[in-house]
A and B are shown apart, each in its own frame.
Chain A
Amino acid sequence: MENLEALMHGFGIALSGNHIFLMLIGVLLGILVGVLPGLGAPNGVSLLLPLTFGMQPVSAIILLSSMYWGALFGGSVTSILFNIPGEPSSVATTFDGYPMARDGRPTTALATAFGSAAFGALAGVVLITLSASWVAQVALAFGPPEYFAVYFLAFASFVGMGGSPPIKTLVSLAIGFALAAVGIDTVSGSVRLTMGIDELVKGVSFVVAVMGLFGIGELLIAVEEEFHVKAISSKVEWREVFRTLAGLPRYGWALLRSAAIGCWMGITPGGPTAASFMSYGIAKRLSPRHANFGKGEPEGIVAPETADHAAGTSALLPMLSLGIPGSATAAVMMGGLMIWGLNPGPTLFIEQKDFVWGLIASMYLGNVVAVVLVLLTVPVFAALMRVPFFIIAPVIVIICTVGAYSVSNSYLDVVLMMGFGVLGYLFKKLHYPLAPLVLAIVIGDKAEDAFRQSMLMSKGSLGIFFANSLVTTLILLGTALLVMPVIWRMLSKMMTRSPSTP
């Protein structure tokens, strides 16, 4: 009940004319970056970041989170109409969305996607509304060892559940940690890992890394694959929209299951991409119509879209209540929070009530705004896809360059960004995950500090991580996730070997 009251207060904040306007702008910019190849939610949000420094934190977070919703929806538009996923997390939507649109039912495909996406997002927001302040309350009692254990669990779940080759995930994660350590060490005040370059004392900003990895890297991937835009009619028939939305409850079981998968993957930092693939895979296995998957089966759109948006939304739950972002974009937003002078974590719920509940209320509104706007603007953004790539590419390069430069007016950052671009291309090409790297840059310092503070408390004994049942459970769970890939591998080897041995 207390939560509902706080939520109503939040609606009072979010429902001002100024904030509705920011939501509209955010969602439109979000759809734009979601549609354009080479720009996505993480670098879209980091591009806007420097422009929010003068704003109230509530207004700033409403703008950024609305952009996030817009990007999630925008990615689905191109997946369905052009078979080009605008976002990595909407790759699974192309499997059934594009065949359905190609067979002459683009409106049905879009409406199915948006309807289930809205359901997934709603599930995520309800989860946040009900449990975020409770989680924060529990987390208030956390000391450094507990925090380190939670960070450890978060990083371990990337390795164990992220779906990429585990050692590649580990390398990506460790590079992020190393980059986070560059510059002044917060505990001792000494300068680390500058490798003789004085300018690196200020550290490597996550914005620079995101611009290069996701911006330039993605652009290189896009140009290499040389997509051909095959136009499908992008006219939206409103009657069909309503009929499709009314028919969605038929997939109730798939909706609920996918929302649950999405929420779980969002809270543990598996992220939206892994969530949508997992949900699609499970739906394909369980559905009675599994033979139709890949040929335009509605459930094949419902499953990945619901999970994608549920994960994207619930990724903000650990960011708000624990200070641990559940996805790359959430990591960028959390970086923003720290720049605005807020301290992400449980104390937010006490010291910044307006901020937290204003944001949560805006998530309800922002998703409604996003569904309506995306339906209204499908033809406009679809037309944008016909702009030749050789015009879009220089524009995106210039935008990323200015974005990287504006972080701290440093040319070195621009050069670093280009380096990250090459690395991002190689990583994408070879299935190294990028999200762990960004996450580690943002919270690597905090994880290290938590570890060192724990060590100070225990005078150097690792026993502090087994001092009470909570810490022990978290550490053991994390370790289990870390070794899970190895165990899986051994099990599957034994399974394949056993039938052949008599």
Chain B
Amino acid sequence: MVSGRSLETATALITGAFGAAVIVSSRDNGIGWSTAGVESGTFPLIIGIVIVAGSAFNLVQGWLHARAIVLGRDELRRLAFLFLPAAIFVGVIPLIGMCPASALYVFGALAWHRRGALLVSSLAAIGAALALYLIFELTFQISLPRGALGTLFGF
């Protein structure tokens, strides 16, 4: 169960951390006025301060006003079922390459939801990989990642 308060807090902390990183990073470049005009760190510094200040405001607002539960157990489960496979898909791309990863992803999703329909799932998986290859590699000449596996086999 996740309350609106924790969601608001988490988001404000994420944006605030980003803002802080921007402030720290902006100090690598000059700040203020030099003979060449406004130095390149000035603008990021101001923006970083705006982000941190705004995040602090949102943090307090969210903490005070959003108490109701916004994500129940069911919602969290559904989110996880979408996000985790997607994250794994993205994670294995550097290992096995885009086309095989997509095929596995489609196969996994179909086989999970339609238990037993392995033939249909395999066909859909091969179809997805083939479609990617035909559309991007051949038609529009965008080379997709081969992955460590592809390099191993010398693609």
Contact = CB atoms under 8 A, between A and B. Distances in A.
Given A409-B143, A411-B93, A171 B51 contact: yes
B81 to A, nearest CB: 8
Contacts of B38: 451-452, 455-456, 460
A418 B113 contact: no
Contact of B109 (A390, A402, A455): A390
B50 A185 contact: no
B25 A397 contact: no
Given A192-B40, A220-B83, A393-B109, A405 B75 contact: no
A178 B44 contact: yes
A384 B40 CA distance: 50
A470 interface: no
A4 interface: no
B25 A391 contact: no
A394 interface: yes
A190 B38 CA distance: 13
A195 B23 CA distance: 11
Contacts of A223: 78-79, 81-82
Chain B's interface: helix, strand, loop or mixed, by majority?
helix
Interface string B1-32: 00010011011001100110110011011000
Nearest to A181: B44
A224 B14 contact: no
A193 B43 CA distance: 11
A388 interface: yes
B94 A178 contact: no
B26 A192 contact: yes
Interface centre among B7, B38, B105, B142 (most CB of A within 10 A): B38
B98 A405 contact: yes
B10 A426 contact: yes
Contacts of B98: 401-402, 405
A376 interface: no
B91 to A, nearest CB: 9
Contacts of B82: 219-220, 223, 393
A187 interface: yes
Given A181-B43, A398-B102, A224 B71 contact: yes
Contacts of A395: 106, 128
B113 A415 contact: no
Interface string B114-149: 000000000010001000100010001011110000
A168 B15 CA distance: 10
A500 interface: no
Interface in B80-116: 81-83, 85-87, 89-90, 93-94, 98, 102, 105-106, 109-110, 112-113
A455 B47 CA distance: 18
A224 B78 contact: yes
B93 A414 contact: yes
Contacts of B18: 175, 178
A24 interface: no
A427 B54 CA distance: 14
Contacts, number: 160
Interface residues on A, range: 35 or more
A430 interface: yes
Contacts of B142: 50, 402, 406, 409
A423 B40 contact: no
Contacts of A456: 37-38
A460 B26 contact: no
Contacts of B14: 423, 426
Contact of A405 (B74, B106, B144): B144
B70 interface: yes
Contacts of A219: 82
B150 interface: no
Contacts of B81: 223
Nearest to A422: B83
A167 B25 contact: no
A340 B97 CA distance: 30
Interface in A181-236: 181, 185, 187-188, 190, 192-195, 216, 219-220, 223-224, 226
Nearest to A419: B14
A394 B105 contact: yes
B25 A195 contact: yes
A405 B71 CA distance: 32
B105 A398 contact: yes
Interface of B: 4, 7-8, 10-11, 14-15, 18-19, 21-22, 25-26, 28-29, 33, 36-41, 43-44, 47-48, 50-51, 54-55, 57-58, 61-62, 70-71, 74-75, 78-79, 81-83, 85-87, 89-90, 93-94, 98, 102, 105-106, 109-110, 112-113, 124, 128, 132, 136, 140, 142-145
28 contacts: A51-B140, A174-B54, A178-B22, A178-B47, A181-B43, A188-B36, A188-B39, A193-B22, A193-B25, A220-B83, A223-B78, A390-B109, A394-B85, A397-B105, A398-B105, A401-B90, A402-B98, A402-B136, A406-B136, A406-B142, A415-B90, A418-B86, A418-B87, A430-B7, A430-B11, A456-B38, A460-B33, A460-B38
